Amino acid sequence: MANILLGATGSVAAVKVPAVVAGLAAAGHAVKVVATDAATYFFDPAPLREILTLDADEWPGDRYRRGDAVGHIELRKWADLFLIAPLDANTLAKLAVGLCDNALTCVWRAWDLSKPVILAPAMNTLMWEHPFTRKHLRAVGADFGATHVPGHLEGETLVRQINDRAKGLHVVPPISKRLACGDVGVGAMAEVPDVISAVSQVLSATAGSAESDPTVA
C-alpha cells in the first residue's frame, strides 16, 4: 500500500494515536509517527518507540557530524502521505506561518508538495470557532492552491471550500460531541475510521491523478 507518516500534536485527541496507527496498519499501510513532546502527554510512546520520532531523536544531544542523517528529511523521503491527526491549534498556527521549531513542523516545512497531506484538527469549540483558526486554515489552504477563499466562511463550509480548491491538501473536519473539558460542541477530532477512510480516498485520488497525467512516467 503506502508509507504513511502520522503526525501527532498536543491535543487530548492524541489519546487516539495508537488506534490511528492500528487502523492504518490494518489497511495495509506502513506507518511511522512523528510527535510533539506535548502529544506524548496523552499516549504512552513506549509501545510505538520503534516507529516513533520525537524531538529528542531529531536533536539527540550529541554534536552533529557531517554525514549524519537528518531525521525530518529522512521521514519526508520515506513517506508517501503526511497525516497530522490530531492537529492542535498551536501547531496549526505554526503550519500557517512556516515555523519549524520541532521535528513535526520541520517535516512540514521540508515537505515535498507533490505528495499529499491530510489534516485532522482537534481543539476546544471556542478555539475552533476563533477567527485566528479560520485565518490559519485559509493560509494553509492557500499554500496548496486554495486561494481566494471568502474570509467570512467558517466551520465545515470553510473546510469544504479548501478541500474543493486545494491540490494535495485534505482537511478532515472536527465533529461535535462532549469534549474532554466537559464542553459540548464542534472541535473533537473525527472518528478514527473516518480518518482512515480519508487516507484511502486521498491515496486513490492521487493515484488517479497520476494515471491521467501524461507527464508522469
Question: 127 or 152: whose pLDDT is higher?
Answer: 127
pLDDT tens, position by position, 93-102:
999 999 999 9
Residue 106: active-site member: no
CATH topology of domain 3-212: Rossmann fold (3.40.50)
The Cα–Cα gap between 170 and 133 comes to: 16
Active-site pick, 56, 113, 181, 207:
181
Residue spans of the domains in the chain: they are 3-212
Say what the pTM is.
0.94
Confidence of residue 151 (pLDDT cuts 50, 70, 90): confident
Q: Is the pLDDT of residue 62 over 80?
A: no
Is 124's pLDDT higher than 60? Answer: yes
Peptide bond into 86 cis (omega under 30): yes
**pLDDT averaged over the chain?**
94
DSSP of the chain: --EEEEEE-SSGGGGGHHHHHHHHHHTT-EEEEEE-TGGGGSS-SGGGGGGEE-HHHHS-SSPP-TT---HHHHHHHH-SEEEEEEE-HHHHHHHHHT---SHHHHHHHT--TTS-EEEEE---HHHHTSHHHHHHHHHHHHHTT--S--TT--HHHHHHHHHHH-SSEEE---EEEE-TTS-EEEEEPPPHHHHHHHHHHHHHHHHHHHHH-TT--
- Say what percent of the chain tops pLDDT 70: 96
pLDDT at 209 over 90: no
pLDDT score recorded for residue 30: 98
